[in-house]
Structures are given as C-alpha cells and as structure tokens.
Amino acid sequence: MNSKFIFRSILAVAVVTAASCKPELKTITPSKGSADFTRYIAVGNSLTSGFADGGLYLEGQQNAFPLMIGTQMQTVGGGTFSMPFFNANQADGSGYKKLSSFTATGDPVIVDVPAQAAIGTANVPGFGTVPLFTKYAGDLNNYGVPGIRLNNITLTYYGNLNPYFERLLPNTSPANTTSYLSFVNAKPFTFFSMWLGNNDVLGYATGGAAVAADFPTDKALFTQLYNLAASTMIKGGAGGTGAKGVVATIPDVLSTPYFTTVTLKALLTAVQASAPTVQAIFIQPGTGAPRPATAEDYFLLPLKAANLIGKPNGAGLPYGLHPGNPVESKYVLDKAEAAVVADYTNSYNATIKSVAAANGLALVDANALLKVYGAGKVVNGAAVSGAYITGNLFSLDGIHLTPFGYAIVANEFIKSINSQYGSSIPTVDVTKYRGVKFP
C-alpha cells in the first residue's frame, strides 16, 4: 500500500464520476415500423372530434385524442396534424356544460355555457331548420363529426343536416352533395384511425328508446357499411397508394355515468327522506303499462336535473310515485331496451373486430378499455373510475370523456398501432390532462 496508489485511485474515482454526470436512461429508438404516418387522418364521431361536456368547444378540440396521437406521430415521421378549431373569439363553440357549484345536499349544479360559433340557421327542405356554425376552411386531419352514425357516411345530403359536418364542407346547407366517406377520401393519406358506430346505438340509449327514428342501425347494414368503410380507407384516399390504420370497438354505453348515476336506490332514498312509506318508483316502459322500476332498469342522467320526482300532475298524482304519473319513457331505458342496446353493441363490436382482422388493421378494444377504467383503476397515482364528476374519466355529459380520459384512449390507440405495425410512437403523459373542472 503506497500513497501513489491511493493518489492515482483518487484520480480514477474522479474520472469515473466525471464520466457519468447526469443519470442516463435508455430511450426508445424512434421507428415508424411498417406504417407510414406522413398524413394521418382521424375519421369518426364526437369522440374523435374532442366533444366533451355536452358540446364541441375549443378546449375540447385541443384535447381531442387524434391530436395527441398525431402530435406523438411526429417523432416517427408524422406530418402536421391540423384540427378544425373554432376561432379563439368563438372558443365556446357549440356551447357546453359547466359545473357551477354544489347544492347543500352535495348535488352538482350544472349550467350551460352558450354557443359562440352558431351564426344562424338554414332551412333544409324535407328536414327542417338546422343551425349553422362558423365554417372551417383550413387544412384538415381530424374529420370527427359529432353525431354521425355509420349509416350516415354514404348519404350525399348528410352534410346539410349535421352542422358539425357542414362547417367542414365548402358549401352552405342545403347546397352540399358530398357524402362523409367521399369527403374524407378526397385527399390522399397514409394512415387513418376510424372510430365509428357508437351513434348507431347511442341515440337509442340516451333517448330512453323513446324515439322510433333512434332505433339502432340494422346489424347486416352495419356490417356491410363497416366493410365498405374499411375497404375504402385502406386505399389511402384519392391519389393515395394505400393506407394502414387503426379502428376501435364501441364502448358499453350502459356503464357510463349517463346511465349509472341516477339509480333506483338513490331515487328511493331521496324520496323516503320525506315520504318513508314510498316503496316504488313507477316508470313508463317502452311497451306495456306503467310498472314499478327494478334494479335492471336504467334511469338517465337528465332525470336528476329535471327534478321532477314527486311533482304532482294536473290530477294531483306525484311524478314517478304513482302508476298514473310514471317517470316518462325518455328518462328510462327499461330492462328490455337495455338488452337491445347490449345486443346491438355486441353485434357491432363483433363486426368491427372481424373487419379489422380481415383488413390487417390495428384494433383498440375501447369497450373493454372503458369497462376496466370505469370499474376503477389507479393511473400514475390518480384514481380513475366511471363515477360521475369525481371519476376523472367522463365529462359532465356523462358519456364523453374528459381530457384525462381522452389521453388514456390516445395511449391505447398508440399501443395498438405500435403493436400491430412495429412502430414506436411514444405515449402521452396522461397526468398532463385534466378531469372535470371544479368551481
């Protein structure tokens, strides 16, 4: 042991430390795999558009999941992803719902923020009056149109009926003649996401199955149209040389807060506080006479805000507490109707899965995904569940997602794309996105 050795060793320690000043972590090598993200387009409905809190508004658009994906794709050769944003001075867009306070009993008080982008109406012969929004004429990658059903995508007059579609089209309603499927395929693209079919069953469910026109799209028609949509999209649009893509299943709408927040038990408990003898809530089912509700019937979220239970009608019968004044059909999805929703959802999802497999497309099982998160899961230390307002997953309309929820969806799309095409699109940091805003 001599001093020279120790002295040299001190130098050696200094060299070792100097060589590793900051901790380094292996990063993934960016790769597009077998896909090409040069022009990614998003095809779909409200979920694709960024719709939340019962409306389409700028902040929701800024948190649209395809925008998250498109931004992440830029690390693996993706191009610019353009959104049809509302103008900053019309940021409230179609208007939306906002949580303003809580009542003394802890019930949320939700108010409507008025529309800013509604600029008038148009009369569509044979259909009626439709609202008009300020048009968007710039580059477009997100083609999400709130409200669109799969069985709308080939209709040439649909652009005149849906103001969210109309604002993307060149002509003012009722002068549009381009179908949705033609519109999205008018320019070449290399990659697409397609999340369609939700509205083919959603309207029936959210309307309490009270409107005949809302009945789910015929299953065979759904299969035919989904095949058409997929086989069209993989061609990559007019002038394109083929595209790869990702599709998603339809979530189980019955497990969203829109259907799970107002329960028979909660209604009875509230009524019994002042009328302890009440044992039943009477509903008007889709068919047959009014009857007491069971735990298998779903009450819809708007029933709470309507605040009708117990209110006497002209004959003095309390609303919902007497067979002569039952809870209206539009507030109830009865057991039989719920079975229809489940049946059609399952059928559509079987179609989506088989078409995805047949066309070699990546698949996101959004149905399974939202079931898992809806049941309760901790994400990076944050509790997420399907609970209304407090669950961080669903926005104030009880059906569409919060930015946090959309970020979870974006990551699921990214993982599915990476797994199908061997790419390495980085995921987004979900904790950068918010849940429901509290007052």
Partner 1 sequence: MKKILLSFLLAVPILGYSQSYQVNLQGQKQTAMGGAGTGVALDEAAVFFNPGAVSFLKKNGVQAGGSAIFLKAAFKENGSNITEYTKDKLTVPPAAYAVFGNPNNRLRFGLGVYVPFGGAVHWDPNWTGKYTVTSLDLQAIFVQPTLSYKITDHIGIGAGFVYSNGKVDLKRGIPLTLNDGTSATAQLKGHSHDFGWNAGIYVETISGVTIGVTHRSQVTAQVKDGDAIFKVPQALQDGFPTKFNANLPLPATSSIGLGFYPSSKTIIAVDANWVHWSKYKVLAFDYNNNSRIPNTSSPRNYHDGGAVRVGIQNMATERLALRLGAAYAFTPVGKGYVTPEVPDANRILLSAGLGYKASERFSIDLSFLYENIKSRNETNIETNLSGDFKTVAYIPGIALSYKW
Are the C-beta atoms of residues 208 and 330 closer than 8 Å to each other?
Answer: yes
271 Cβ partners below 8 Å, 6+ apart? Answer: 278, 281, 309, 310, 321
277 Cβ partners below 8 Å, 6+ apart? Answer: none
335 Cβ partners below 8 Å, 6+ apart? Answer: 285, 294, 296, 297
Using CB under 8 A, pick the residue from 49, 178, 392, 395 that binds partner 1.
392
Are the C-beta atoms of residues 78 and 40 closer than 8 Å to each other?
Answer: yes
Q: What is the 8-class DSSP label of residue 250?
A: P
Give the whole-angstrom CA distance, residue 366 versus residue 206. 19
Structure tokens, 215: 């009945």
Q: Which residue has the tokens 């059903």?
A: 149
Task: Tell me the closest approach of the beta carbon of residue 148 to partner 1, in angstroms.
Answer: 29
CB nearer partner 1, residue 197 or residue 435: 435
Using CB under 8 A, pick the residue from 292, 311, 383, 419 that binds partner 1.
383
Other Cβ atoms closer than 10 A to 262: 24
Structure tokens, 68: 């998250």
Give the whole-angstrom CA distance, residue 66 versus residue 246. 11
What is the pattern of x (binds partner 1, CB under 8 A) and - over residues 97-136? ----xx----------------------------------
Considering CB under 8 A, how many residues would be counted as binding partner 1?
52
Per CB under 8 A, 382 contacts partner 1: yes
Q: Which residue has the tokens 């968007």?
A: 136
Task: Tell me the closest approach of the beta carbon of residue 102 to partner 1, in angstroms.
Answer: 5
Choose the binding region for partner 1 from 12-20, 35-43, 144-152, 293-301 (rule: CB under 8 A). Answer: 12-20
What is the pattern of x (binds partner 1, CB under 8 A) and - over residues 404-423? -------x--xx--------
Per CB under 8 A, 426 contacts partner 1: yes
Task: Output phi, psi for 6, to 5 deg.
Answer: -65, -40
Q: Tell which residue, 340, 332, 339, 335, has the closest CA to residue 283.
A: 332
Of 66-85, binders to partner 1 (CB under 8 A) are 75
Q: What secondary structure does DSSP assign to 256-280, as a single string?
A: SHHHHSS-HHHHHHHHHTT-TT---
Task: Tell me the closest approach of the beta carbon of residue 398 to partner 1, in angstroms.
Answer: 17
Task: Tell me the closest approach of the beta carbon of residue 279 to partner 1, in angstroms.
Answer: 30
Task: Tell me the closest approach of the beta carbon of residue 235 to partner 1, in angstroms.
Answer: 31
Per CB under 8 A, 5 contacts partner 1: yes
Using CB under 8 A, pick the residue from 250, 296, 380, 421 that binds partner 1.
380
Choose the binding region for partner 1 from 20-28, 46-54, 177-185, 246-254 (rule: CB under 8 A). Answer: 20-28
Task: Tell me the closest approach of the beta carbon of residue 390 to partner 1, in angstroms.
Answer: 8
Task: Tell me the closest approach of the beta carbon of residue 77 to partner 1, in angstroms.
Answer: 14
Per CB under 8 A, 15 contacts partner 1: no
CA trace torsion 158, 160, 166, 171 (10° rounding): 120
Strands 108-113 and 298-299, sheet pairing: unpaired
Task: Tell me the closest approach of the beta carbon of residue 405 to partner 1, in angstroms.
Answer: 12
Task: Tell me the closest approach of the beta carbon of residue 367 to partner 1, in angstroms.
Answer: 21
CB nearer partner 1, residue 64 or residue 184: 64
Which residues sit at the interface with partner 1, rule CB under 8 A? Answer: 1-10, 12-14, 16-17, 20-28, 30, 75, 101-102, 377-384, 392, 411, 414-415, 426-429, 431-432, 434-439
